[in-house]
Amino acid sequence: MPSPYRKIFAAHGARNFSAAGFLGRMTLSMTGIGVVTMISQITGRYGLAGAVAATLALSAAAIGPQISRLVDRHGQRRVLRPATVVSALAVAGLLVSANQRWPDWTLFAFAAVAGCVPSVGSMVRSRWAEIYRGSPQELHTAYAFESVVDEVCFIFGPILSIGLSTTWFPEAGPLLALVFLVTGVFWLTAQRATEPRPHPREHHTAGSALRSRGLQVLVATFVATGAIFGAVDVVTVAFAEEEGSKGAASVVLAIYALGSCTAGLVYGLLPLSGSAPRRWLLGVCVMAASMIPLQLVGNLPLLAVALFVAGLSVAPTMVTTMGLIEQHVPRANLTEGMTWVSTGLAVGVALGSSAAGVVVDRAGADAGYAVAGVAGVVAAVVAFLGYRRLRPAAEPAGAAPPEATGGPETDDRTEDHTRQHLA
C-alpha cells in the first residue's frame, strides 16, 4: 500500500472500522439487484421485481437521513444496532413472502420497512473525519480510500448476488447481503474508541443539515449525477443484449467501476491544491462531458473503453464532495449531511433507471445513452448555478472564520479554526 494510505491506517482502530464498513456496505450493491433476481426467478414478473426494488431504494432514501440525524445526536451504537435489527427482520420477511408466494402487497410492505438500513459508508467517513479533523491531506486520502471501497463493492457485489441467486437458490443473494449488513454494523459499533462523539439535541440549533445552502447544491447536483449512473446501468444491459451478449454487461459495468477505482487510488496520493469548490465543479463538468462518447460507440469493446474513461472522474468528484460537506455542515450534523448526498444519488439512480428504460423500450439502446447525456448536462448546469454557494468567502486579515451555517470557509484553515467552524 503506498505510503499516504499506510499513514492513515497507522491511526488506532482504523483498519478494523474500515473493514467492518466494507462488509456493511456490500449490502448496498447486493440487495436491490438480488431482490430483482429473486422475484423474477420465483414469479417470472420483472415489472413486480423492479417495483419492489424501487420501493426499497426510495424507502432507504427517505429514512436514511433521519437515521443519520439520530446518530449525530445519540451515537452510532445506540441507533445503528436497533435500526439494523428492524431492517434485517423486514428483509427476512421479504424473502419469506417471496418464497411462500404471499400476496404482492406484502412484498411492498416489507420493502418499505427494510429501507431503514443505515448508511454505513457515512458512518465510516464520519469516523475518519473525527480522527483527522484539522488534517486535510490525511482526510483527503481517507475519503479517497473509502471511494475506492465503494467501487470495489459495486464491482463484486452484483456479480456475487446474481450468481448466488441463479446458481444456488433465488433468495441466496439478498440473504448473503443481509448477513453482510448485520455482521458489518455490529462489528463497527463494537468499536467504541473510534466512534464519533454524539451531539445532544441542544447542539442542533440549526435543525436539519439540509438547511445548509452549500449542502443543497451538492444534493441537487448529485440527484442528476445519480441519474447518470442509473441510466448507464440500464442502457448498458440493453446494449449488450442487442449486441447478442447480455452476460457481458456485468463485465462492461465492472470496467466502469474499475475506472473510478483507479482514479480514486491515484487521487488519494495527490497533494491538495487549489480551491475545493473549483475541483468539484471541474469534476462534475468532466463527468458530464464523458457521457458524449457513449452516444457514438458502436460495439461492446468501444463501450468498455468509453465507460472506463468516464469512470475516471467519478471517485475524485465524490472525494471532493465529502470534503465540501465537512466545510459546509456543522460537526453536529456531519453524518446526516453525508447521508443526504447518498440520498440524492439514490433518488437520481431511480429516476435515471426509469427514464432510460422508457427510452430503450421506445427507441432502442443506442438512444438510451442520451438520458445519461441529458443528466450530465443538468448536473453541470446545477453545479454552475450553485457554485457561488460553495466558494470560500473573501476575508480580511484577522477576521474570524464564518459560521458553518452562514457561509463556506477557506481550504487552508487551521485546526483550531476547523474545530470552531464545525463544532
| Amino acid letter, 85 | V
**Domain contains 60:** yes
What pLDDT sits at residue 29?
79
Question: If you average pLDDT over residues 392-418, what whole number do you get?
Answer: 35
The answer on 254 and 180 residing in a single domain is no
What pLDDT sits at residue 178?
93
What pLDDT sits at residue 125?
85
Specify burial of residue 398 (Cβ count, 10 A radius: 0-12, 13-18, 19+): exposed
Residues 6+ positions from 222 with CB-CB distance below 8 Å: 321, 341, 344, 345, 348, 379
The answer on 299 and 250 residing in a single domain is yes
**Domain contains 201:** no
Question: If you average pLDDT over residues 179-187, what whole number do you get?
Answer: 94
**Domain contains 283:** yes
Residues 6+ positions from 4 with CB-CB distance below 8 Å: 137, 138, 141, 268, 269
User: Residue 408 pLDDT > 80, yes or no?
Assistant: no
Q: Which three cell numbers stand for residue 27?
A: 449490502
Rounded distance, CA 197 to CA 130, Å? 8
- SS3 for 384-408 is HHHHHHHCCCCCCCCCCCCCCCCCC
Question: If you average pLDDT over residues 308-316, what whole number do you get?
Answer: 90
Q: Which three cell numbers stand for residue 281?
A: 465543479
Rounded distance, CA 147 to CA 136, Å? 16
Angle subtended at Cα 47 by Cα 291 and Cα 165, rounded to the nearest 5 degrees: 85
Return mean pLDDT, the chain: 80
Q: N- to C-terminal Cα distance for the chain?
A: 33
User: Residue 422 pLDDT > 60, yes or no?
Assistant: no
The answer on 265 and 149 residing in a single domain is no
Of the residues 190, 219, 247, the one at which a domain ends: 190
Q: What percent of the chain has pLDDT over 70?
A: 88
**Domain contains 31:** yes
Q: Which three cell numbers stand for residue 48?
A: 413486480
Tens digit of pLDDT for each residue in 383-401?
999 888 877 543 333 333 3
Question: If you average pLDDT over residues 266-279, what whole number do you get?
Answer: 80
Of the residues 128, 157, 190, the one at which a domain ends: 190
Q: Which three cell numbers stand for residue 229?
A: 449512473
Cell 463485465, located at residue: 251
Tens digit of pLDDT for each residue in 23-62?
998 888 788 778 877 887 888 776 677 778 778 888 888 8
Judge contact between 408 and 327, C-beta under 8 A: yes
The answer on 422 and 370 residing in a single domain is yes
**Domain contains 23:** yes
Phi, psi values for residue 405, rounded to 5°: -90, 0
Residues 6+ positions from 52 with CB-CB distance below 8 Å: 35, 36, 39, 94, 107, 108, 111
Total domain count for the chain? 2
Rounded distance, CA 361 to CA 367, Å? 10
Question: If you average pLDDT over residues 289-317, what whole number do you get?
Answer: 90
The answer on 220 and 162 residing in a single domain is no
Judge contact between 107 and 39, C-beta under 8 A: yes
Q: Which three cell numbers stand for residue 113?
A: 420497512
Length of the chain as a residue count: 423
Burial letters for 368-377: b for 16+ Cβ neighbours within 10 Å, e otherwise? bbbbbbbbbe
User: Residue 180 pLDDT > 90, yes or no?
Assistant: yes
The answer on 359 and 225 residing in a single domain is yes
**Domain contains 153:** yes
The answer on 215 and 246 residing in a single domain is yes
Q: Which three cell numbers stand for residue 66?
A: 433521519
Q: For the chain, how long is the longest CA-to-CA vector?
A: 70
Of the residues 161, 190, 219, the one at which a domain ends: 190
Most confident of 27-31, 79-83, 331-335, 415-419: 79-83
The answer on 82 and 164 residing in a single domain is yes
**Domain contains 195:** no
Tens digit of pLDDT for each residue in 230-259?
888 778 877 887 888 766 777 888 888 888
The answer on 185 and 151 residing in a single domain is yes
The answer on 160 and 130 residing in a single domain is yes
Residues 6+ positions from 101 with CB-CB distance below 8 Å: 42, 43
Crossing angle of helices 172-189/14-43, nearest 10°?
160
User: Residue 292 pLDDT > 80, yes or no?
Assistant: yes
**Domain contains 197:** no
Choose the weakest-confidence range: 141-145, 169-173, 223-227, 324-328: 324-328
The answer on 166 and 216 residing in a single domain is no
Judge contact between 246 and 371, C-beta under 8 A: no
Domain of residue 152, residue span: 16-190
Q: In 10 A of CB 341, how many CB atoms?
A: 25
The answer on 347 and 242 residing in a single domain is yes
Rounded distance, CA 251 to CA 240, Å? 10
Judge contact between 111 and 134, C-beta under 8 A: no
Choose the weakest-confidence range: 36-50, 123-137, 275-289: 36-50
Judge contact between 27 and 166, C-beta under 8 A: no
Specify burial of residue 120 (Cβ count, 10 A radius: 0-12, 13-18, 19+): buried
What pLDDT sits at residue 409?
34
Judge contact between 122 and 209, C-beta under 8 A: no
Choose the weakest-confidence range: 102-111, 260-269, 414-423: 414-423
Question: If you average pLDDT over residues 336-349, what whole number do you get?
Answer: 80
Q: Band of the pLDDT at 2, cuts 50, 70, 90?
A: low
CATH number for the domain spanning 309: value is 1.20.1250.20
